[in-house]
Amino acid sequence: MQNPLDLRLLKTFILLVETGSVSETARRVSRTQPAVTLQLQKLEELVGARLYNTVGRKPVLTPEGELLLGYSRTILGLHNEVLTRLHAPRLGGRVILGIPDLYAAYVLPPVLSAFNLAHPNVDVEIRCSLSNRLMTAIGRDEIDVALVTGMPAFKQGLVVAQEPLVWVAGETGPPQHVNPLPLAMLPPGNIFRDHALAALDQVGRSWRLVCVSESLSGIQAAVLGGIAVSVVGLSSVIPGMRVLGRSDSFPALPKVDLTLYRAAGRNNPASDALVAVITRHFRQSAMAPTDRVAPTQAGSGAHE
């Protein structure tokens, strides 16, 4: 009789693939690097196959590793789903979630799916707006939960994820070589814009704004149309976009924090449940933050 697979080993394997690093995997599972290596070796012994090869310090999956990865995600997904359903209180009502459309279409689907499975009787209202407007809404108790881009003007919240920023251009046309550089950016006060312009100024690259849009769709239209370069989160890079890097003479960009806030004046059990699902989802994802920030219950991070 074959030995059963250990869920902890499968989780470690998935994290290795998502992070591409034994050391980062060890940090995520709160174990030493040698202990993680032993876990991975034990998993290979259990399945009787080599799961990955190390190429330039990065794991490259074998065909057997690719097969196991798909099944591992399914197994852990079902495991988490059944525990969530069995332990979840029977909630009803409505929860209002505010999120910029920079993230909504790319990070929300698995969150909403998990939340609906656990709490099918709760209606979710999604309000997409710029982060500063959502913070104002939180401060006025107009929404229950806000997942926004962390900015210095906002008070401390719960950092649930970190998103790498990347330069993007369209596949048609070479706007990245035009001088001054044509840019499509969000309005003033957005940290994506601040980081982009500061990075260009630091390397002495001249630029001009050819498109300003409050929504990601407007930015995407300018980039895909080949008229501008922009900065977006890595998760929102879509077909038709080219990521530009140092080989294209573009400066490196930092990560931004995705920060969670709750309205202080709205006592809503459904929002507690949604916050739990959001934090759990990102904790188990490749976007999990390196440094966690203590949560705040105040909706006082308003920024006009």
pLDDT on residue 40: 92
The percent of residues in the chain predicted with pLDDT above 70, rounded, is: 92
SS3 content of the chain, % helix, strand, coil (to 5): 45, 20, 35
Instruction: Specify whether the CB–CB gap between 233 and 102 falls below 8 A.
Output: yes
Q: Which CATH architecture has domain 7-86?
A: Orthogonal Bundle (1.10)
Task: Indicate whether 78 pLDDT > 90.
Answer: no
Does position 273 have pLDDT exceeding 80, yes or no?
yes
Q: How confident is the model at residue 92 (pLDDT cuts 50, 70, 90)?
A: confident
One fold for 91-162+256-283 and 163-254? yes
Q: Look at residue 89 in the predicted model and tell me its pLDDT.
A: 63
Nearest alpha-carbon partner for 190 in 143, 235, 134:
134
Residue 88 is predicted with a pLDDT of: 62
Average pLDDT of span 251-273? 90
For 163-254, CATH gives 3.40.190.10
| Banded model confidence at residue 57, pLDDT cuts 50, 70, 90 | confident
Assigned architecture for domain 91-162+256-283: 3-Layer(aba) Sandwich (3.40)
Contact 114, 275 (CB under 8 A): no
The tens digit of pLDDT for each residue in 155-166 reads: 778 999 999 999
Average pLDDT, integer, range 41-48? 91
Residue-wise pLDDT for 19-42, tens only, equals 888 888 888 888 899 999 999 999
State the Cα–Cα distance between residues 6 and 10, nearest whole angstrom.
Answer: 7
Alpha helices of 119-215 — where are they, by DSSP H?
A: 131-139, 191-202
pLDDT at 146 over 90: yes
Mean per-residue pLDDT, 57-80: 87
How crowded is residue 298: how many other Cβ atoms within 10 Å of its Cβ?
Answer: 17
Map out the domains of the chain as residue ranges.
7-86, 91-162+256-283, 163-254
